[in-house]
Chains A and B, each alone.
Chain A
């Protein structure tokens, strides 16, 4: 009996020594979890497209870098519910040895999962969630907010529209935390650029008929109606604004819009609108090449969330390979140390609050006559440099930022 025990112990010891000598990546496998909205409100913006993007990142990485470790991917639908996302993330981290939970569209999901990642010492890569809370009140050292946030999109659009003469604003705001945050961020920018806010109305979320609210906006005397809502609410607001003759007399500014929204509304309904995004497929040869590969699988051009997802996963995998370890703290240090350079970001940088800063783009929706090919939707009006696009660290409410 005793002998058998000793033999077993010796065997175990040998095994663990061998493991340590071979590689630092635990079990020789890096496991990436994509936790997203696969069927609900945000499934066009993020959803299955982010799973496609993640697969592309893994395949490209394997082909180019030939790593010594294996890469696995799992995905799950969080149904836009924080509690479901939290349970799934916990299961992944505790039972399934998932190293990183990624995508995480919807603020409540991102906030819940980043907390669990911290608790379990794993990494959270946020692409789809919008709230600046991820890198402010809730910031931690295992989370990176990759693609955009409410500050960046509201800032870009509100500033551009105010500076080009749209001084009087009225806000149509979705009545929940996200809408309020968007309205607050945009109002500040409008005022800072010499504009004024003449009124606002909060509509129930989700809404179907916005005509009453649009009528209010119409009689407010505002030049610009800021849409502090998202998805289906934005789509129906724009459609009904045209119906009631609100546009083109008053201009609409979509504070959080995605290319899929423009696609589903059509250019006739959206022409002339300003919006800010972190990515557009038709920026340069590199973005076009990547987006066409994405299109071949997904049959839709990528949103910024989907492109950002690829970029974040690729950056993570490169960091793991560079230090030959999937240890959370070491990987995070490596990721922050290395600039992000790919088709999505040029000289992108992960700040101490977890915000990945990169250039944003101020876009204007084309007239139907100017659109030459399918998905040819935007004129790029300006590139907003990374340093101006995001909330400055001096205004940060994150405890990790030393002032």
Chain B
């Protein structure tokens, strides 16, 4: 059987791969959306935080013998702690200014982090093995699915669902959203808004680090792994609607699939297709697919 002139095994294979890549986009753009939606900061350090997450896992293993499963929990905590420091000492002073200042600061921090890691580890990076439990794969009939990739989809989607639930459906989420709309009022009700804001930034960064650990066994862990991905993830956020949580998850998955299918039909265009869609969406719906008109 063929679908659009492509043998169906190949077609379903690429669809599944698209979904896998899409789940990375989803987790990364979710972190960005949380930070932008609640803090109004365009976090250009997101790619670097993703890279730091992967490196934390790698160095944890090499130096301290920390295994993958522990790293999945510890790396986001470490990167989150660094994010707390950044928010408290630097970002805090920029909230009242134009978005551009936050963007420039985080971009600068990303460049510094990348440069420091290049200096110590070179650009080729190191390989990180998948945990033993998830090595090997299963034949699905239409393709060979490495177990690890299957795990990536499950882990990524669970985390996305959890974050969505916390922000949209719990009282903590309600407080958070209220604090971004009217910080003065929420403060007056006895809630410590600055702590909320710091925690939010740390959570966004921790999400990036989580994605970094997930990616470590798939990609070579190197200092530029974040900057290769961050532009695409920004496009995903813009398409989904800046700051929309559900938007970023759905768009992340959707665009992963679109990109996967482009690789079947016209591989040369697979690097541009997301940006083409971004242009089209911005022309028709400037606030993004799920964004609310300002």
Could you list which residues of chain A lie within 8 angstroms of chain B, going by C-beta atoms?
39-44, 175, 201-204, 206-209, 211-213, 215-216, 218-219, 231-232, 235-236, 239-240, 243-245, 260-261, 263-266, 269
Q: Is A239 touching B127 in the complex (CB atoms < 8 A)?
A: yes
Could you list which residues of chain B lie within 8 angstroms of chain A, going by C-beta atoms?
7, 9-10, 13-14, 17, 20-21, 115, 118, 122-127, 130, 137, 143-144, 146, 148-149, 218-220, 222, 224-225, 228-229, 260, 263-264, 267-268, 270-271
Given contacts A215-B143, A239-B220, A243-B146, contact A204 B270 (CB under 8 A): yes
Q: Is A209 touching B21 in the complex (CB atoms < 8 A)?
A: yes
Chain A residues, Cβ within 8 Å of B13: 215
B10, B20, B267 — most chain A CB neighbours (10 Å):
B267
Q: Is A264 touching B271 in the complex (CB atoms < 8 A)?
A: no
Q: Is B123 touching A40 in the complex (CB atoms < 8 A)?
A: yes
Chain B residues, Cβ within 8 Å of A201: 267
Q: Is B123 touching A232 in the complex (CB atoms < 8 A)?
A: yes
Complex partner residue of B220 from A40, A216, A219, A235, CB under 8 angstroms: A235
| A218 and chain B: residue at smallest CB distance | B144
Chain B residues, Cβ within 8 Å of A40: 123
Bound together, the chains give a CA A235 to CA B143 distance in angstroms of: 23
Q: Is B127 touching A266 in the complex (CB atoms < 8 A)?
A: yes
Q: Is A232 touching B268 in the complex (CB atoms < 8 A)?
A: no
Chain A residues, Cβ within 8 Å of B124: 44, 231-232, 235, 260-261, 263-264
Chain B residues, Cβ within 8 Å of A206: 228
Return 21 A-B CB contacts under 8 Å, by A number: A44-B123, A44-B124, A175-B268, A207-B271, A208-B225, A209-B218, A211-B17, A212-B267, A212-B270, A231-B124, A232-B123, A232-B224, A235-B220, A236-B220, A239-B218, A239-B220, A243-B130, A243-B137, A243-B146, A243-B149, A269-B127
Chain A residues, Cβ within 8 Å of B9: 219
Bound together, the chains give a CA A82 to CA B9 distance in angstroms of: 44
A39, A201, A211 — most chain B CB neighbours (10 Å):
A211
Bound together, the chains give a CA A269 to CA B126 distance in angstroms of: 12
Bound together, the chains give a CA A378 to CA B144 distance in angstroms of: 31
Chain A residues, Cβ within 8 Å of B130: 243
CB distance from B115 to the nearest CB of A (A): 7
Q: Is A208 touching B118 in the complex (CB atoms < 8 A)?
A: no
Add 5 more A-B contacts to A39-B115, A212-B264 (CB < 8 A).
A43-B118, A202-B267, A239-B219, A260-B122, A261-B124
Q: Is B146 touching A244 in the complex (CB atoms < 8 A)?
A: yes
Q: Is B218 touching A243 in the complex (CB atoms < 8 A)?
A: yes
Chain B residues, Cβ within 8 Å of A244: 137, 144, 146
| B146 and chain A: residue at smallest CB distance | A243
Question: Closest 6 A-B residue pairs measured CB to CB?
Answer: A204-B271, A264-B124, A212-B263, A44-B122, A44-B124, A245-B144
Given contacts A44-B124, A213-B267, contact A208 B10 (CB under 8 A): no
Bound together, the chains give a CA A215 to CA B18 distance in angstroms of: 12
Chain A residues, Cβ within 8 Å of B127: 239, 264-266, 269
Q: Is B270 touching A215 in the complex (CB atoms < 8 A)?
A: no
Chain B residues, Cβ within 8 Å of A204: 267-268, 270-271
Q: Is B219 touching A236 in the complex (CB atoms < 8 A)?
A: yes
| A41 and chain B: residue at smallest CB distance | B123
| B137 and chain A: residue at smallest CB distance | A245
Bound together, the chains give a CA A278 to CA B149 distance in angstroms of: 38
| A262 and chain B: residue at smallest CB distance | B124
Bound together, the chains give a CA A256 to CA B56 distance in angstroms of: 30
Complex partner residue of B126 from A42, A208, A212, A264, CB under 8 angstroms: A264
Bound together, the chains give a CA A269 to CA B130 distance in angstroms of: 13
Bound together, the chains give a CA A266 to CA B123 distance in angstroms of: 15
Chain B residues, Cβ within 8 Å of A264: 122, 124-127, 220, 222
Chain B residues, Cβ within 8 Å of A236: 219-220
Given contacts A43-B118, A206-B228, A231-B124, contact A213 B263 (CB under 8 A): yes
Complex partner residue of B222 from A213, A215, A219, A232, CB under 8 angstroms: A232
B14, B115, B130 — most chain A CB neighbours (10 Å):
B14
